[in-house]
Amino acid sequence: MFAVAAESTMVLLRVRVLSTRHFSITRLLPDNNNKWHTLPPFSPTPTSLSASASTTALKWVLRCCPHLPKPLVHKLFRLRQVRRSSSPTIIKRVAAKDTLNSGDTIFLPLSVKHIPTEKKRHSDLTPQQIQFVRSLVLYKDPAVLVLNKPPGMPVQGGTNIKRSLDVLAAACLNFEYPDSPRLVHRLDRDCSGILVMGRTQTSATILHSIFREKTSTASDDIDAENRILQRRYIALVIGCPRRPRGLITASLGKVVVDNGKSDRITIVDNSTLLSSQHAITEYHVIGSSSHGYTWLELYPLTGRKHQLRVHCAEVLGTPIVGDYKYGWQAHRKFGPDNLSDVDSSEELCKEEMLPFGLTMNKGSISERCPRLHLHCKQIVLPNIYRALQDVQSPHYDLNQVGNLALTAPLPPYMQRSWDITNS
């Protein structure tokens, strides 16, 4: 038993060694519990007393806090910010799938009390904002909704994010469906392009399994015809890869920097480490310019965080334009000075302010601080709606249905960079 003093409150930690590399920490409840929002103690209903109908921590939070966005609740569990108390003195971290016992108490971060209700969050949208969100729709059927995500808009909500695409979709893109569209994959905040959402619980579950299985079963086989899911990104990079095409197989891992204030993804040489994740990217060179830039087609065979950005910067040695997190040094050598023959007048870069403070025109390579030039151009996936109509058995093969080939145009600033490098 170890005692650790934190300001004026004494917090006790009980450490139990599980193996040579793992240990669990149990925190004893402090007297002052002002940092947590406490939910009512779990009380099973008569229908949930059996093991087959057990209630998980996730279900209890959603039941007690119907006003909280589901993506936010999932994020709290993913970031390990949810606690459970099974006795008056002990509080532990709890996972979303952990089963609750009668009398268990769930604690959430106190900040969730300041999340506005669903009605309040949606009532302040202007007609222009609603029209803008609906203009992002590239395709919809009874099972799938596909958006052209604008750069600069976060996909998922959080405690410090006022507007995110999942919340806006729930407000504007139900199209008279009882359920809100559900995220099945993600794009970086500054990335643009195709974002797929499921319109029902069933279609979202199928789509999520497709994206997840794509990552877990990925191999070095680059035969695109055998892939049930295909994604094609367009990126502008600084420099030029040594080979015009290739396959990058490099595991990724997270490292903490700035004394724990932030983290970044990096290449992990020892892929046997528990924290590493295998990552595979296929790339093709589209063309190079005399200005020192190269356009690439990127095909991620796995879906890891910052995978394309790290593979381009650390493996190919050609960081993506506008990626200052992984390519800061390269950006110091490049800039508008390399484009002395390009007209960068304000008339060409005239900006139109869009709803939610978004901008789309400025940020090309003709400007001093270009934006991230990474765009999900195309996704090919099975026709989920047709599969749900034709399915006759639980082992239905999605390869037997037709594909949906979805394409999103480049944002204006990337299109201008394309025109500059191809002039």
Q: Which of the residues are catalytic?
A: 188
- Cα(409)–Cα(336) distance, integer angstroms: 25
Question: What is the Cα 172 distance to its own chain's centre?
Answer: 20
- Cα(170)–Cα(90) distance, integer angstroms: 37
The per-residue b/e assignment along 312-334, b for 16 or more CB within 10 angstroms, e otherwise, is: bbbbbebbbbbbebbbeebbeeb
Q: Do 151 and 190 touch, CB atoms closer than 8 A?
A: yes
Residues facing 38 on adjacent strands: 107
- Cα(141)–Cα(143) distance, integer angstroms: 5
The 3-class SS string of 318-378 reads: CCECCCCCCCHHHHHHCCHHHHCCCCCCCCCCCCCCCHHHCCCCCCCCCCCCCCCCEEEEE
The per-residue b/e assignment along 14-40, b for 16 or more CB within 10 angstroms, e otherwise, is: eeeeeeeeeeeeebebeeeeeebbebe
Burial of 392 (0-12, 13-18, 19+ CB in 10 A): exposed
Q: Do 132 and 125 touch, CB atoms closer than 8 A?
A: no
Nearest to 291 by CA among 327, 344, 363, 238: 238
Q: Do 214 and 301 touch, CB atoms closer than 8 A?
A: yes
Residue 187 CB-half CA count within 13 A: 30
Residue 211 gets which letter from DSSP?
H
